[in-house]
Structure 1
Amino acid sequence: MIAESLPLRTSTPGAFEATQRPFSRSVIDERWLDGARPGAVQGQAPDLATIDLLVREGLERLEDDMSAARRYLAAARRLLSPDDACRPGGLLPWQVRRVGRYIDERIERRITLAEAADQVRLSTSHFSRCFRISFGSPFTKYVTRKRIERARWLMITGDQSLGQIALTCGFADQAHFTRAFTHLTGEAPGRWRRQVTEVEPLDQ
């Protein structure tokens, strides 16, 4: 199905007019619902035309659909906000949020680079490079660290066995969990657990 085209409707000629081009309503709707930067579709830099379109669409909806109007105007504001900048070469802010949430919600399951890349519509190779820049470590290492963080919390707050915790945190088995935990922390999980959960008796 071909998406409806939304031409910009400015009557002022000049430099601004040169930025005019049709945008797909379906693309814009999907992206601002995600808290995205709509002008960055397929790596495209945000521009005045994108902001103009979002503002116009928002203003047109003020009387009929206040919720939609706010969403369009909020998307335009994000494009203008210096706080929404991303690291050069890294993922866009909306992509960072989506990938982070995706990993957190699936930490007990198998998470692949390809699946995560698909969440933000990037090739695996490009996503891998951008992820390293934005998150400060390679994808697999980051996911493993998040699994270990979850495991630490479970070891402190619950009484599950190490085998149960390993499966809950997405490791293949206890041996896999032990290797990863020891490599990251320098201690075996059982020993670490005893050290942080043992309570010394009070002096009589």
Structure 2
Amino acid sequence: MAYPQHTTARAPVSEPHKINIGGLSPQRERLVKQLILERLGDSLEVTELAEACALSRSHFSRAFKCSTGYSPQDWIRQQRIARAKQLIQHTGLSLTQISLECGFCDQAHFCHLFTRSEGINPFAWRCRVVKGLESKRAQPLPAAAQLHATV
């Protein structure tokens, strides 16, 4: 016996507006982010961050991820990579010095995480950035600027 197949048109269901329930309060989020940024070069434990917010480790981790979209460890890692990129671009520090300055346990770990994050190792990234800066400096002056330079 064959059953008739009914097709019905369904109206598109709009996504309900997400309310950020269960996240950190704005004050706690600011506090913990400031603490992380101040101690970026140090060893940071999630337990310490949770204590600063007067929360259990597990509750803090869930609330932090709810507020930022990242686990505390991932957010710290992103901040360390961002800091490393600033140091690579604006200082002559070695990659070993940069890795220690940014709180990585050693250069190999730093290089691994940097490459995973940026798709290129930090040495190659430095070469690309330096080459980009040099090409900006070497660009010829516009015609109007050349007239003033020769007069």
Say yes or no: does 1:98 pair with 2:67. Answer: no
State which of 75, 83, 89 in structure 2 corresponds to 1:150.
83
| 1:197 CA displacement | 1.4
Choose the corresponding residue for 2:66, options 118, 128, 133. Answer: 133
Q: Which amino acid aligns with 1:119?
A: A
For residues 49-68 of structure 1, what are the structure 2 equivalents within 5 Å? none
Distance in 1 (CA, whole Å) between partners of 2:34 and 2:45 is: 14
| RMSD of equivalent CA atoms | 1.3
**CA offsets, 1:86-127, max 9 Å, x none?**
931100111001001000000000011101000000000000
Amino acid at match of 1:193: R
- Percent identity, please: 39
Q: Within 5 A, what are the aligned runs for 1:184-195?
A: 184-195=117-128
Shift of residue 202, structure 1, vs aligned partner: 4.7
Runs of 4+ in 1 over 4 A off after TM superposition: none
User: Could you say what secondary structure the match of 1:159 adopts?
Assistant: coil
| Residue number in structure 2 paired with 1:88 | 21
Partner-residue secondary structure (3-state), 1:87: coil
- Report the equivalent of 1:119: 52
**Alignment of structure 1 residues 2-21 onto 2, 5 Å:** none
User: Which has the bigger relative contact order, CA under 8 A and spacing at least 6?
Assistant: 2
Q: Whose radius of gyration is greater, 1 or 2? A: 2
Distance 1:87 1:96 in 2: 13
Q: State the partner residue of 1:163.
A: 96
Report the CA distance between 1:190 and its aligned residue: 0.5
What CA distance in whole angstroms lies between the structure 1 residues aligned with 2:61 and 2:128?
37
TM (norm. structure 2) is: 0.75
CA distance in 1, matches of 2:66, 2:31: 16
SS at match of 1:172: coil
Q: Unaligned 5+ residue runs, structure 1?
A: 1-85
- Amino acid aligned to 1:131: F
How far apart, in 1, do the equivalents of 2:126 and 2:45 lie? 29
Q: Secondary structure at the match of 1:193?
A: helix
